[in-house]
Structures are given as structure tokens and as C-alpha cells.
Structure 1
Amino acid sequence: MMRDALRLAVGTLTAVPVPPPRDVDSGVARGAMLLAPVAALPLAVLACAVVLVGDVVSLPPLLTAVLAVGAVALGTRGMHLDGLADTADGLGASYDRERALDVMRKGDVGPMGVATVVLVLLGQVAALAGAIAAGHGVLAAAVGVLAGRLVLGVCCLRTVPAARPGGLGAAVAGSTPVWQVALALALGAALAAVGGVLADVAPWRGVLAVLLALAASSALLWRCVRRLGGITGDVLGACVETATLGALVALAA
């Protein structure tokens, strides 16, 4: 089951080619969401490598940040950004739940979606550039990517329903128990604190990054559950990008 969960997480959240899971049930779905940060490790390594190379060749922090954020987007095929755009369009389209879900299902990107993606990407790039200029860009790149995926367990808590039948949202909604999510968050915060020490940054900054990622994604999750009735795959992608922005902002200075 663990192998299938990891395959599902990697195949769903990254562009890394892996064999499909042999079976997808509630246990595999739960494991995939909890293992999301592990599946995103290649993306974190990629982002850190771009930051390191940018430092070696003395690229401007802003350019390095653009390349790192772009590399992560390429490593996910832009899937989370697509979810962010669709979610923004759905929330901005109508107060009618069915109308909003229909807009999200079509996948056409409207002005609200475009504006949201542009602003979130600008925020991520600016925050990462600030961290690079402050000398801890590698830490910010790693924590930003991993904290952005860590919140998926929260998005799939057993109290969170699916907005509609079918799709990724219905497969993973309500799959993660509170104690496992709490344990994953505690472990993620502890590792972020250790990373801060290694990067010569106050340990609480790493913890703050995880907490701000959690707060940002939880606010969006709450809004989506109230407006849409639950989560969809698009909502999960939107929460990932929002959480990534929150983590990077915490480490920007």
C-alpha cells in the first residue's frame, strides 16, 4: 500500500514518470496525501540546485528566483497553477455553487484566474528573491516547495467533503485522520527548524514558514468548502500554490 501511495503521490503531483499504482483505495489515497512532501523532494532539490547555480554564477536574485519558480512549475507541468486559475475563476464567477463548479470544470482561464496566477507567481518570485538576497535562498526554496505539499493532508481531513463526485478531489477527500496530519505538520515544522539552523537562520523562522503556509491554505480551504461544498482537484492545486507563497513570505526577509 505504501508503494502504491508513493506512486500515486509522485505521479499526481510531479512530472516524474513512475509506474501507476496497482490499486487505489482509501488507504492509498490517504497515504498519497500524507506522502506529498516526500513525492515533492525532487522538485525541492531542483529548486535548490537552481538557487545554488545562480549564486555560483552571480545571477541577480530576482532572475534566480524566476528560474527557480519556473523550474518547479515545469516539474509539475503547471498543474497546481492550473488548479489555482480554475479555483479563482470559480470563486469569482458566481455565488451559485453549481455555476461555480461548472466554470471550474470547463478549465477555460478567465480574467480572474489569470490575475490570480500572475499575482501569486509574482509574490513567490519576490519573496524567494528576498530570501536569496538575505543569504538563505536554498532554505526558502526547499521549505517553500515542501511546505506547499505538506498542507495537502489538511485539505483532505476527514471533516472535509468532496465538492462533487468523481475526480481527484472525490478520491482523496476525507481520507486523512487528524492525528496523522498533526504528526506530519509537527515533523515538517521540526525539519524546517533544523534547516534554519543549518542555514544560519533562527529556527523559529522555519516553523513560522510552515505555520504561515498552513494559515494561507486553510483560509482558502475554508472559503472553498463554504462556497463549493468541499474540495476538488483544482482546490488542492490552489492550496499548494497558496501555501508555497505563505512559506516563502515568512522567509523573505
Structure 2
Amino acid sequence: MTLGRFGDAVRLAVGTLTTVPVPAPRVIDPRVAGTAMVLGPLAAVPLAVVAGVIVAVGDALGLPALAVAALALGAVALGSRGLHLDGLADTADGLGASYDRTKALDVMRRGDSGPTGVATLMFTLLVQVGAMTGAIAAGHGVVAVVIAVLVGRCTLSMSCARGVPSARPEGLGATVAGSVPVLVAVVTGVVAAALAGLAPGLNWWRGPVAVALGYAAAAVLLARCVRRLGGMTGDVLGAGVEVAVAGALLALAV
């Protein structure tokens, strides 16, 4: 990949996954899109840092762990425009709407949230905040939120791996579907687990378990969507990020 194309991938990753203002990519093709998805965790580093600082400051000030957890995760949501939360709600509405693929995709496209989407969103946020509260109380809240935020974005490469089809012929899902070589997706997960194993303040195995649980949650959701919808969409990508964050935080809750 040329330096110019790599720059396009960086701009696509940062512009799509965060609110950091960057110029629009000049070219978006499958290779640029795939590289952007692999770079997702790096693009989310500012979000992880902000969340970690909020937890550290809140802990130092003696604020209630529940409030600190909500503030940290709320900052991440704001820093990503609520994109992944919106995807989670839309995906839940689509899966709960009908067994008819076309109708389910139409419900997801509308953008408004129905009862299934709202309930799923609230449940997932409760799990995230509750698990984060436990991690803060256990003394490793900063490490937990950093790992969880980055692991959630690591799963993007898995969801965009070759062999995973797009449910629609257009949209973000169609742009990134199958754009990441399987080997690259696997290496991304292995590297994430290895780095998590070096996280300070945790037993060496806690970080890799958090990565594994986050990936497992996203993989189960992805498999369900491929069976029901015929593939993945941009909403499914966002939903995978959120359930991966919840899974990783659960592994680090105590």
C-alpha cells in the first residue's frame, strides 16, 4: 500500500470511529477500507485515554464508582458520536422485527429505535456500567476501560474478514465487507490478547481472557446476523463493538 492510500485509511478510520476532525479520504476502495478497519483500535486510542483519565481523576477525588463508570463510558460514546450504540439498537430492532430478511433490513435502515432496540441498548449499557463499576472498585478501572474500548474496536477486523458477506449491496457494510484478510484479522486478535496480558495491575491471564470474551460476544452476534440477515451491515459492526466492550468489562469486573 502506498503512503497516500495509507493516509486515506487513517483518515477513514479516525473520521468514521471518532469525532476527531480529519480531512475526507481521497480514495475509498476495499484495500483502504480494510486497512481502516484494522486501524480501528489505534483510531480509538484517544477515546481510551480520555476514559482512562476520567476514571483516574474520579477515583482520586473519591467519587462514587458508579458515577465515574458512567462518565467514562459516556465520554467514549460522545467521542464516537454514539455511532456504535445506534448500530446496536438498530441491529436489535432488525433481529427482533421479523424472520423475513428484507423486512428486518428495512427496519434497521429506518434509523428510529423501537422497543427491542431501546431495551437492548439499556441492558447493554447497564452491563457495561455495572462491570466497569466493579473494575473501579477492584482497583483496576483505568486498565479495564482502556482494554475494553480498544478490544471493542479490534473486533471490527473480524467482522470485516474475507468470507463475511454484506447484507446489502450499498452502505458502509458493503464498503468494508470482506476487506480484511483472514490472517490479518487473526493476528489482530492475537496481538490484542498478548498486549492485554502485559497490562499493569492484572494477573497475566486476565487481559487475554477479557479479549477472548469480547471477541466471543462479537462473534456470536456476527454469526446470528449473517444467518438472519444474510451478512453484516454498518449497524452490525457497531453492535459488535458494544457487545465486545461489555464482554471485556465483565471479564475485568472483579
TM norm structure 1: 0.98
2:198 to 194, 199, 203: 194
1:237 is aligned to 238
Deviations 1:152-199 (A, max 9, x none): 00001111000001110000001111111111111111111111xx22
State whether structure 2 residue 226 is matched by structure 1 residue 222: no
User: Could you say what the CA RMSD is over the residues aligned between the two structures, in angstroms?
Assistant: 0.6
State whether structure 2 residue 183 is matched by structure 1 residue 179: yes
**Partner Cα distance (2:185, 2:99) in 1:** 31
SS of match in other structure, 1:139 = helix
Taking the TM superposition and a 5 Å limit, the aligned residue runs for 1:63-82 are 63-82=67-86
| Residue identity in the other structure for 1:145 | V
2:151 to 147, 158, 177: 147
SS of match in other structure, 1:83 = helix
1:119 is aligned to 123
Deviations 1:82-136 (A, max 9, x none): 0000000000000000000000001110000000000000000000000000000
**Partner Cα distance (1:8, 1:52) in 2:** 30
2:90 to 86, 92, 100: 86
State whether structure 2 residue 107 is matched by structure 1 residue 96: no
**Partner Cα distance (1:100, 1:137) in 2:** 38
| Residue identity in the other structure for 2:31 | G
| Residue identity in the other structure for 2:74 | G
SS of match in other structure, 2:205 = helix
Alignment coverage as a number of residue pairs = 250
State whether structure 2 residue 66 is matched by structure 1 residue 62: yes
| Residue identity in the other structure for 1:204 | W
Deviations 1:7-31 (A, max 9, x none): 1011011111111111101110110
2:161 is aligned to 157
| Residue identity in the other structure for 1:215 | A
| Residue identity in the other structure for 1:93 | A
**Partner Cα distance (1:223, 1:6) in 2:** 30
**Partner Cα distance (1:75, 1:252) in 2:** 23
**Partner Cα distance (1:144, 1:186) in 2:** 15
Q: Which runs of 4+ in 1 moved over 6 A?
A: none
**Partner Cα distance (1:179, 1:95) in 2:** 33
**Partner Cα distance (2:131, 2:197) in 1:** 19
C-alpha displacement of 1:56: 1.2
C-alpha displacement of 1:203: 1.1
Structure 2 gap ranges (5+): none
C-alpha displacement of 1:247: 0.5
SS of match in other structure, 1:68 = helix
1:52 is aligned to 56
Structure 1 gap ranges (5+): none
2:113 is aligned to 109
Deviations 1:46-93 (A, max 9, x none): 110110110111101111001001111110111110000000000000
| Residue identity in the other structure for 2:122 | V
TM norm structure 2: 0.97
**Partner Cα distance (2:105, 2:19) in 1:** 26
